[in-house]
Chain A
């Protein structure tokens, strides 16, 4: 069975500082991994996804994530935080063991950016 763990329900960084949001997954088969961002009272927007091509994935708004099979991780990073990055971020996993496109979502990490 799939599962996703996002360490830290709240992360706070200063504007211009490195952003690191952690995601660890569990999957019995090769996973496909996604990061989404959600602004208050809005739907989820895809930031990036890993589907077994390059292990370093670049997404929108300067975010990137690296798939590390040995660590079962897919952490999200951004070199320099901007005030507009304040939002909630969700990691999700889907895998080839499914008979349909079922995602398992983490519980989310709220990012606060301090001026």
Chain B
């Protein structure tokens, strides 16, 4: 089955620690995205990547970093500079860069701070 996988489902971060969230897709999609979801605020874009080895900051990139070394993988690192990391993180992908394209979402990772 084609789809997007995210791991882990739950992640705990200690103060001052960097943590990495995994996102893998086997849909052969060029574009991938990371969103942060907080209650009552909808989804906010953190980073996006249109092709391998290229990525751009979204609306709330501070305290986060990404890489796109492979087409199928787009890991997100939450750094110690992100002072309020507790949220639900969603990865998405789309086929191409056109604005009509549907974004398909993974199951999400919930990040909690110890």
Find residues 45-68 in chain B having any chain A CB closer than 8 Å to their own CB: 45, 48, 50, 56, 58
Chain B residues within an 8 Å CB radius of A107? 40-42
Closest to A29 in B: B99
Size range of the interface on B? 20 to 34
Is residue A41 contacting chain B, with contact meaning CB distance below 8 A? yes
Chain B residues within an 8 Å CB radius of A103? 43, 45, 103
Closest to A108 in B: B42
Chain A residues within an 8 Å CB radius of B92? 44
Q: CA of A107 to CA of B42 in the docked complex: distance in angstroms?
A: 4
Is residue A68 contacting chain B, with contact meaning CB distance below 8 A? no
Is residue A42 contacting chain B, with contact meaning CB distance below 8 A? yes
Chain A residues within an 8 Å CB radius of B110? 41
Question: Cβ of B99 and Cβ of A43 under 8 Å apart?
Answer: no
Is residue B100 contacting chain A, with contact meaning CB distance below 8 A? yes
11 intermolecular pairs with C-beta atoms under 8 Å apart = A36-B105, A43-B106, A94-B100, A100-B50, A101-B98, A102-B45, A102-B48, A103-B103, A105-B43, A107-B41, A108-B40
